[in-house]
């Protein structure tokens, strides 16, 4: 009886220890994935409408840009510039890359010009007008500096973006939005756009 009792106690202890080890391992894997591979993000606001809506949930690929550079058309999450309502590490924006290093970008007459040619933005609704901003002054061509990326929201009338604060450096880009997992009607890969 004593032998059976000790065995039972040992089994429960072993089971608890195995359970704790499994939890620790799972949490460690989650933390590693979150820090280096992918992280969940929630779309807040309407700056990417109609392609992304408020309360859409996305997975952001944090690994690709460690081995390559962001591309025009990528939808990226980046650390937002500091404002009164957004401290250094608090806010992240989701926007689309319009210009990469060396590109010439101009906003004129409600349109965007890339390297001297009208940018065909088929992902925007017909008739979308792009207004200038503090950085993207009407009719003035800007050259994107090395290691920087100019990002605009898809909802040009309701987006605080690179037209105001200019390009962001690569080190501020968290990653590329690649998968939408909520709402279920929009479940799937984020379409890639190239121009």
Residues 67-80 pLDDT 10s: 999 999 999 999 99
- CATH code: domain 41-189 is 2.10.109.10
Task: Give the separation between CA 49 and CA 128, rounded to whole angstroms.
Answer: 12
pLDDT above 80 (res 110): yes
Q: Which of 86, 94, 97, 79 is closest to 47 using CA atoms?
A: 94
- Per the listing, tokens 């009607």 go with 185
Average pLDDT over residues 91-108: 97
Task: Give the separation between CA 184 and CA 50, rounded to whole angstroms.
Answer: 16
Query: What DSSP state is assigned to residue 38?
Result: E
| Catalytic center residues | 47, 95
pLDDT above 70 (res 28): no
Tens of pLDDT, residue by residue over 136-145, are: 999 999 999 9
Tens of pLDDT, residue by residue over 34-70, are: 566 789 999 999 999 999 999 999 999 999 999 999 9
Radius of gyration of the chain (CA): 23
């Amino acid at each position: 009886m004593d032998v059976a009792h000790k065995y039972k106690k040992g089994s429960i202890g072993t089971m608890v220890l195995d359970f704790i080890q499994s939890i620790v391992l799972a949490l460690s894997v989650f933390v590693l994935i979150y820090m280096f591979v992918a992280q969940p993000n929630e779309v807040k606001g309407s700056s990417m409408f109609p392609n992304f809506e408020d309360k859409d949930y996305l997975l952001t690929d944090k690994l690709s840009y460690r081995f390559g550079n962001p591309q025009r058309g990528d939808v990226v999450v980046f650390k937002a510039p500091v404002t009164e309502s957004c401290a250094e590490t608090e806010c992240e924006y989701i926007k689309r890359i319009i210009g990469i290093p060396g590109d010439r970008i101009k906003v004129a007459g409600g349109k965007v010009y890339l390297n001297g040619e009208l940018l065909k933005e088929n992902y925007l609704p017909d008739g979308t007008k792009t207004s200038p901003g503090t950085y993207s002054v009407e009719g003035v061509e800007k050259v994107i500096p090395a290691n920087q990326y100019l990002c605009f929201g898809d909802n040009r009338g309701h987006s605080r973006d690179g037209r105001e604060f200019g390009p962001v450096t690569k080190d501020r880009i968290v990653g590329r939005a690649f998968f939408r997992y909520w709402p279920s009607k929009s479940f799937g890969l984020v379409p890639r756009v190239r121009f």
